[in-house]
Amino acid sequence: MTIRQAIGTTKTRHPETVRFLSETVAHLTESGFVAEALSRSGQNPALAAPTER
C-alpha cells in the first residue's frame, strides 16, 4: 500500500516560498509528526516518506 503525500506551488513563486514549504515538510517529517499522524489514523507510520534534502 502506498499513501502518496505531496505539496505543491506554482513555478513562479518566490524562492522564499519554495524554501519555506521545503523546510516545513522536512521539519514535519523529521520531527515524527507525519509518522504520528499516520499512526493516529490507523496507518503504518513506516509509510512516512523519507525527507529529501
Q: Are 25 and 7 in contact (CB under 8 A)?
A: yes
Q: Residue 39: its pLDDT value, please?
A: 92
Distance CA 35, CA 22 (A): 17
Least confident of 1-5, 8-12, 34-38: 1-5
Run of H or E residues at 22: helix 15-30
pLDDT in tens, 11-42: 788 999 888 988 998 899 899 998 898 899 89
Distance CA 3, CA 10 (A): 23
User: Predicted confidence band at 10 (pLDDT cuts at 50, 70, 90)?
Assistant: confident
